[in-house]
Structure formats: C-alpha cells, structure tokens
Amino acid sequence: MDNELVKIEQEVNSLIAKITQLKQEIGKIIIGQEETVEQLLITFLAGGHALLEGVPGLAKTLMIRTLAQAIDLKFKRIQFTPDLMPSDIIGTEILEEDQTTGKKFFEFNKGPIFSNIILADEINRTPPKTQAALLEAMQEFEVTYSGKTYSLDKPFFILATQNPIEQSGTFPLPEAQQDRFLLYIRIGYPTETDETAILKATTSSKKAKVNSVISGEEIIRLQELVREVPISDDLIAKVSKLIRATRPETTTDDYVKQWVSWGAGPRAGQAMILTAKARALAQGRLSVTPADLKFVAFPVLRHRVIVNFKAEAAHINTDRVTQKLVDTIL
C-alpha cells in the first residue's frame, strides 16, 4: 500500500512539474500576459472552454497556437464570418464511388471541429445558427450529423474570441450560450516594459522554438487529478453563499438588488470550485485556498451575472459586483 502511495505521489509531482515546463514554453513566445495564460491553463486542466475578449493585436491567436504546440495536439483555427455555415465547422457528406463495385455512397467528411484545440476566432461575427453548431460539441464532446453521432478526440478545448470594440455586423452570443464557457477571460494591453520587450522580440530575425513538453494523455490524467483535489466544506459553503448572493431575489446585499438584473445559476458554483481546484494543482498545491476562489471568481461570474440598464448607464459592470461580494463573503 505504501508503495502504491509513493507511485501516485511521484506521478502527481511529475505531472505538476510538466505544467511548470508548459508555462515556460509558452513564455518563450508570449511576453507578459501571465494572468491570461494562467486562466487558459486553468480552463484546459478543468476540461472546459474559454471565451476570450480583447482588441486586435494582443496575440490571442498566437497564444492558443503556442499552447497547442507545447502540448503536441491537433490545432485548428476557424475564422467566423457572416456567411459561415454549420457544415463548415462540423463537416458534410460527400458522394463517393466504390472503385471495385461501382456503387455510390455518402461518406462523412469531418470538419475542423474534429481537432483537440479549436480557436473560434471572432465568434460573434457569425449568425446564431452557426454559433449553435458548437453547443453540442462543447457540452457533449460529440457531433451528430444525418442521425449518426461522432465522438470528438480528447482532450478537447474550444477558445472563442470576440472583439469588444466593434458591434457593427456582429451577433452577440446569447447569455445561455455564454454559460457554456467555463471562463470569460478579458485580455488587456501589455505593460510598458512588456510592450518594449514584445517590439524587440517580434521585429528581429530570431525566432524562439516551442518544444512539446506534455502529451494529450498526460493532460487527460491531469484533468482527472483536478477533480480529486480536496476542498473544505467551509469553502464550498462560501461558494454557495457567494453564488446565491448574486441573485436579486435571494440576496441580502442591497448593492446586488440595486444593480443586478439576473444572478448566476448553479453551474457558476460548479465552475468556481472546479477551476479553483485546477489553479491549486497548477501551482503545485493539493488543496484549495480562499485565494484560488478569489482568483477564479471574476472570469467565472463575468458572463453569468447580468447587470441592469441602470448599472450600465452608471458604468457599473459585473466585475465591480463580483469584487463587492468577494470582499464581503470570501
């Protein structure tokens, strides 16, 4: 029994060390943005998907491509446009002919969704019909076409991006579809030091090489270990209290009653606990702390708490509501 525990401990330590290596490989290409990279890794380790918002030129595509290279997984980028059809994502049937018998038959030609890491670039530029094509894949990890179901390869991770500064010709994601994303990550401008380093690194002839440091099987094992990370009943109770406090009809907080239209559902609590466990493991810890919950509270609740029109007029966003509740409850 002791030998078995030693083996498990060695496996866990080895996998945690690989997460550190993964961050180092991404850091070869992506300068700064440590918080964004950490949130992406947390989403990946928790087995969910991320919605990333940021203006053009902040290396969103490069970031996820680098992540795919460091994990040695299949990567596909889908540029969402107003004329994109569901079949362009899922795939379509093609009429084929058997060379020996001459009989014709339909064969399913798989689309770009059949990869491990998908970058759904500018997801709000495509109509709801095409946006909805991602729903089954995101939730069930499978695709149905012509009555037949096709399983997707694991690990499976969708990173959808949207541009916050352009609303013309866009189709905002419905709140119910946003809820499918584990985290809503906002990426900001780099610091002055980081921007100087970016300009120097990207305009020279030297190109850093990203090495594959972890396999897909090891990522799947890490995703299993995340769920085994312990969290105290006291912290679970605080998460439950925090989520319930976001709902105007059940909260005792006047701030929420004044500014919030809709609060977060139970899925927010699940996401908060799971991503807190992922953050603890990513940092080499085998237990969840209040600091983990505080870190993930903002990207978890950002798209699940809807402020009212009065709040928007007063420039009060969801992050300010979350900050108020975190300070009070956590």
More confident residue, 263 or 208: 263
Cα(first)–Cα(last) distance of the chain, in Å? 38
Q: Does pLDDT of 13 surpass 90? A: no
- Quickly list DSSP for 257-278: HHHEEE---HHHHHHHHHHHHH
Quickly state the pLDDT bin for 2 (edges 50, 70, 90). Answer: low
Q: Return the amino acid letter for 222.
A: L
The pLDDT score that the predictor gives to residue 168 is: 66
For residues 17 and 38, give the distance between their C-alpha atoms in angstroms, rounded to a whole number: 15
Q: What 3-state class would DSSP assign to 327?
A: helix
Mean pLDDT for the stretch of residues 2-18:
81
Say if strands 117-121 and 75-79 run parallel, antiparallel, or are unpaired: parallel
Q: What is the 3-state secondary structure (H, E, C) of 4-44?
A: HHHHHHHHHHHHHHHHHHHHHHHHHHCCCCHHHHHHHHHHH
| pLDDT at residue 170, rounded to an integer | 78
Residue 117 contacts residue 64 (beta carbons within 8 Å): yes
Element containing residue 236 per DSSP (H, E): helix 233-245
* pLDDT score for 206: 80
Per-residue pLDDT, 227: 94
Asked whether the predicted pLDDT for residue 275 surpasses 90, the reply is yes
The pLDDT of residue 167 is: 67
Residue 231 has pLDDT above 70, yes or no: yes
| In the chain, % of residues over pLDDT 70 | 98
- Helices 216-228 and 34-45 cross at an angle (nearest 10°) of 80
- The mean-pLDDT minimum among 39-43, 91-95, 271-275, 322-326 falls in 91-95
At residue 300's C-alpha, the angle toward residues 224 and 48, to 5°, is: 35
Quick check: 90 pLDDT over 70?
yes
Average pLDDT estimate for 140-147: 85
More confident residue, 219 or 102: 219
Indicate if the pLDDT at residue 172 is higher than 70. yes
Structure confidence at residue 107 (pLDDT): 84
Strands 260-262 vs 91-97: parallel, antiparallel or unpaired: unpaired
Q: What is the mean pLDDT of the chain?
A: 90
d(CA 195, CA 230): 39
In the CATH hierarchy, which fold is given to the domain comprising 229-329? Helicase, Ruva Protein; domain 3 (1.10.8)
Q: Where does the pLDDT of residue 95 fall: very low under 50, low under 70, confident under 90, or very high at 90 and above? A: confident
pLDDT of residue 294: 97
In the chain, what are the domain boundaries?
15-81+115-140+153-201+217-228, 229-329
The residue written with tokens 């990513």 in the block is 282
d(CA 170, CA 173): 9
Report which listed range, 67-71, 84-88, 270-274, is most confident. Answer: 270-274
Is pLDDT of 65 > 80?
Answer: yes
Residue 1 has pLDDT above 60, yes or no: no
Instruction: Let me know if domain 15-81+115-140+153-201+217-228 sits in CATH 3.40.50.300.
Output: yes
